[in-house]
Amino acid sequence: MEGQDYMPGTASLLEEIDKKILVVLRDGRTLIGFLRSVDQFANLVLHRTIERIYVGKQYGDIPRGIFVVRGENVELLGEIDLKNEGNLPLEEVSVENILQAQRLEQQKKQDEQKKQYKKLLERGLQPHAERTADEFT
């Protein structure tokens, strides 16, 4: 989101245009693409986007093409360091493998959550509600 006029010292996304950026969305997804357009709500247009899935020390890329992201779903945004992009301390795997690994991880998390809920209920406590509705999305 930019201020109405470009003022030095304001957090502006205009400087990130045409750069390769990494976007973390509120649902936990990570997108990497070239930022082509922004607006005051931090809506983004990403070009040559890939969705990168991280599981442990592995990652997998799914090519997605052009993305229009609604600003309210953006958690954070960072510029990709093109020099160090190749030397990640992570291992790239194929899409099927990473999706499978992701499914297993989600299954584990769900099981753990269920156990926690049971324990809380046993003690008479309500399992905590996830983030309540944001006033300023």
Partner 1 sequence: MRNIAIPYLIDCQVNRHNLILNFKIPLFYSFFKSLVGKDVVVELKNDLSICGTLHSVDQFLNIKLTEITVTDPDKYPHMSKNCFIRGSVVRYVQLPADECDTQLLQDAARKEAAQSKQ
50 binds partner 1 (CB under 8 A): no
DSSP string, 69-116: E-GGGEEEEEE--TTTTS--SSEE--HHHHHHHHHHHHHHHHHHHHHH
Rounded to whole angstroms, the Cα distance separating 129 from 68 reads: 30
71 binds partner 1 (CB under 8 A): yes
Tokens of 77: 């945004």
Among 72, 92, 111, 112, binds partner 1 (CB under 8 A): 72
113 binds partner 1 (CB under 8 A): no
Task: Give the range of 19-27, 91-99, 103-111, 116-124 binding partner 1 by CB under 8 A.
Answer: 19-27
In this structure, is the dihedral angle defined by the CA atoms of residues 60, 20, 12 and 14, taken in order, positive or negative?
negative
28 binds partner 1 (CB under 8 A): yes
105 binds partner 1 (CB under 8 A): no
34 binds partner 1 (CB under 8 A): no
16 binds partner 1 (CB under 8 A): yes
